[in-house]
Chains A and B, each alone.
Chain A
Amino acid sequence: MPMYYFQQQDSTGVTEDPEGSELPDQLAARECAVQSARELLANAIRFDTNVPDKIFVVDEDGIELLTVFIADVLPNSLKKKRR
């Protein structure tokens, strides 16, 4: 299975994923990124901690494959009110 690396970006820079995850395909990598974003956001809200702006997934060559913005995992009702 291919390796996917989940890099976290905020205004100060990128937190590299030092290990990566073996996943079947990009669809699984996106789902993993979405679930990770949900957890990061939930913890940030609950414990008032920093949260990255986005998670971008790269392959073993460092090529960016997909991006999940943290704000995109907010419930729809909150996304509308945010604007």
Chain B
Amino acid sequence: MPHSKNQILSRVSLVDFEDLRPHLRLVELEHGMVIARSRQRLHQVYFPHSGIISCVVELENGSAIESGMIGNDGVFGASQALDGKLSLNKVMVQVPGQGTVVDADHLKAVALSSPNFLKLLITHESFFLGQVQQTTACNAMHSVEQRMCKWLVRMFDLAGSELPLTQEFLAQMMGVRRTSVTGVASQLQKEGLISYRRGKVSILNMDLVQKRACECHHAVRDHYTELFGGIEGVSSPSHSARANLD
């Protein structure tokens, strides 16, 4: 069943899922697609099966930085559906994929009729808040290399080892200048950890990339395991979502 490729939907009870099912639709998540703009109302809730959705904070000086990343282990728009439908920041598709969408009103109706489903959504919101808090600490305290490696590990979890990314985009997501990313990427490439061709990053040695990353990705995975009780059939946190994608 395609909807169960999303780990939140796969955790919904059969009864609740039957209530949701008539309203679920499959969608293509196209690269660069803007799902929500800052302070705009949101009418759909997204459960990615593959690809990555990014929450981005835009600043007055034109710069922007990613504050959270949602893949097949998460959902975007659930809390907005429950309360006012207002997205506070820009949300966009960073890596293309597929997903399930449901109208916010339907999701809210099912959530208000099912304490278990409501609890699942609130648990995810707690996880996501934790991820954003970790990102805040990471951006303030860790080097560009540590952050870039963390980012690659997270993306590997969600999208595999071939990542359609420009250095410009990576720099924007990390809130740094492209020359900073170019320098780090060049060094990682020289050491055989990654290869980079225009618009595409390939991770060649995941173990070494993980060693160069800060602890933040693992901290976020640990939060996920604590809140959701782990992901079935997976032992290593950094390969968890990948196993579900395969």
A residues within 8 Å of B by Cβ? 6, 8, 15-19, 21, 32, 35-36, 39-40, 43, 46-47, 49, 52, 55
Mostly helix, strand, loop or mixed at chain A's interface?
mixed
The contact sample of 25 A-B pairs, CB cut-off 8 A, is A6-B178, A6-B182, A8-B179, A15-B182, A15-B183, A15-B186, A17-B179, A17-B182, A18-B167, A18-B182, A18-B197, A19-B166, A19-B167, A21-B168, A21-B178, A36-B177, A36-B178, A36-B179, A40-B179, A43-B180, A47-B143, A47-B144, A49-B143, A49-B145, A55-B179
Complex interface bits, B136-171 against A, C-beta within 8 A gives 1, otherwise 0: 000000011100000000000000000000111000
Main DSSP-derived SS at the B contact region: helix
Number of interface residues of B (CB under 8 A): 17
**Is B144's CB under 8 angstroms from A6's CB?**
no
CA distance A27 to B167 in the complex (A): 23
> Contact at B166–A8, with CB atoms within 8 Å?
no
Which of chain B's residues have a CB closer than 8 A to the CB of A6? 178-179, 182
Asked if A40 and B180 make an inter-chain contact with CB atoms under 8 angstroms apart, the answer reads yes
Closest to B180 in A: A39
- Give which listed residue, A18, A36, A39, A47, contacts B196 with CB less than 8 A: A18
Residues of chain A with a CB closer than 8 A to B166's CB: 19
